[in-house]
Amino acid sequence: MNDSALTPEPCSAPLRVIPLGGVGTFGMNCTVLECGGHMIMVDAGFKIPQGNYPGVDLILPDFTYVLENLHRLDAIFLTHGHDDHIGSLPFLLRQADVPVYGTALTLAFVRERLADRNGNGQPVDGDLRQLMFRDPVTCGPFNIEAVRVTHSIPDGAALIIRTPVGTVVHSGDYKMDQAPIDGNPTDLAGLSDIGEAGVLLLMSDSTNADRPGFTRPEAEVGRAIEDLMGQAPNRVFIATFASHIHRIQQILDAAKACGRKAVIEGRRMIGNSRLASDLGCLHVPPDVLISMENAAEHDSGKLVYLVTGSQGEPMSALSRIARGEHSGVKVGNGDTVIFSSRIIPGNELSAGSMIDRLFRAGAQVYYQGSPMVHVSGHGSAEEIKLMINAVKPRFFVPIHGDYRQLVACSSLAQQVGIEKDRTFILDPGQVLELSEDTACLGDSVPAGRMLVDGDLVTDLGSPLMKERRRLAREGLVVVVASIAAPGEPESIAPSVFSVGVGLEEASQSLDREAEVVAKNFIMEWRSAPSSIAELREDVRIGVRAVYRRALQKKPMVVSVLVEE
């Protein structure tokens, strides 16, 4: 790799673009580009599990293809510091010793994530290299330049990837906010200049492609929060995403304007705020921020708490406050709670339960659909059209969205003049091969999902996951008995316990019936003994039949039969 050289190496092979995640589903954003035997990766994020993933903490892209070709991977480039773009790095970098490029705040967040996974809170040594806006670096046949885009986090970048085949623009996450909080709008002029020079492929954020018009500006949220804060008779609690630095900035500014002191609570929010402040991306007004310990010294009507827990996460600051389990503060009559975020699909039950609990405590709660307490960090349909018109790509690939958003984004490209046969909706692992004037689908590479449970990483088809899903679906029955040898005093009657098999009353009745069945098998065995292993299997099958007949379920049955 030669950072100083601006001319990429020649490349006789076609350019290959391979999304490993972030297409057809939100999260796990990751794309591989290949040319001339070299490979780079754009982003490496994770997804929070929803639905049928018992015991799973995180979902990662399947990096099998990358790891099998690790000798060709020159570097990883990051668009911004959200976990759905950087969260896989602690796992990938265990096996891939390659440079990671990102802007200043993005790399600060990466260091924090690496320290988290290291488990000791100490920074993990890694080859992290700062990417400066409009200052290209070269990796083999690739020349990569960062162009500023506006998002809900500072230091967001679109990546301009120049190759001998042509220029690829990866938009990152963006919106066209005309008055962003940090004063750094999307560099539409720079993108237009790049478009005039010729762009082979645009890969565009599709998150809000199915929303008409323009996304409302972030500043509107600040005004709404300041109004609510000014009217609130007592304490104000505001939950938002811990990485939403622009939102945190506006809340602190509103606290200053309303004469309130601010407390930041929640490990991730405290850490992110510190990092952003150290880098000049967050400007804390003087005499506003206080610690949780010092809050008791101030009038409760002059306090605002910035807290984690906008999705109802059980161990978040707001969840503990709502349950009355936080040692530093409790919510009560006259308090105001603002959810300054959207509720991510799949989190409705946990967030809704917490909102109900806050209402029961006497708080006034503002959440999704309330006054303008949240706007998206992603551009809507007209902003996507602006991006396409600025870049003027020959070919177009929508990324970062569920399948319906990808379809909507492809339709937007066609509306502004890109022919349908020049737009490609890709599945994970599907290869798009490009030359200077053609694009076609190639073979697919291995792709899918890897599941993280603590430090264990496994795949969907692993015996562990199959067993967990069966337990979640069918339940567990445990038979415990002490077995006396034939001729000895009678064995202790077996006990049966079931979990997750059925409703409590029905399960208890079936447990008693199963105890009778198990006892009969043990008595038969005592009269005509065979091996204890055979008895365990007979008991297992007989007990399972009790639940199968009654509930049409086949629970996992564990026979714990101990010979005296």
CA distances from residue 178 to 37, 67, 190, 224, 303 in whole angstroms, order as listed: 41, 42, 15, 18, 32
Q: Given phi > 0 = left and psi -120 to 50 = alpha, else beta, which region is 484?
A: beta
Distance CA 554, CA 551 (A): 9
Q: Which single residue is written with the structure tokens 């990324």?
A: 399
On whether the CB atoms of residues 122 and 147 are closer than 8 A, the answer is: no
Active site members: 205, 378
On whether the CB atoms of residues 237 and 266 are closer than 8 A, the answer is: no
C-alpha triplet 511, 515, 521: angle, nearest 5° = 140
Contacts of 467 (CB under 8 A, 6+ apart): 556
Residue 460 burial (CB < 10 Å; 0-12/13-18/19+)? middle
Contacts of 108 (CB under 8 A, 6+ apart): 81, 275, 276, 278, 279
On whether the CB atoms of residues 19 and 149 are closer than 8 A, the answer is: no
On whether the CB atoms of residues 212 and 50 are closer than 8 A, the answer is: no
Distance CA 303, CA 237 (A): 9
Distance CA 358, CA 351 (A): 11
Proportion of the chain in helix, strand, coil states, percent, rounded to 5 = 35, 25, 40
On whether the CB atoms of residues 173 and 156 are closer than 8 A, the answer is: yes
Distance CA 85, CA 21 (A): 10
Query: Which one-letter amino acid corresponds to residue 432?
Result: L
Name the residue among 432, 383, 17 with its Cα closest to residue 209.
383
Query: Which one-letter amino acid corresponds to residue 143?
Result: N
Residue 351 burial (CB < 10 Å; 0-12/13-18/19+)? buried
On whether the CB atoms of residues 93 and 100 are closer than 8 A, the answer is: yes
DSSP per residue, 422-463? GB--PPTTEEEEE-SS-EEEEEE----EEEEETTEEEETTSH
Q: How many CB atoms lie within 10 A of CB 362?
A: 12
Name the residue among 288, 289, 290, 321 with its Cα closest to residue 307.
321
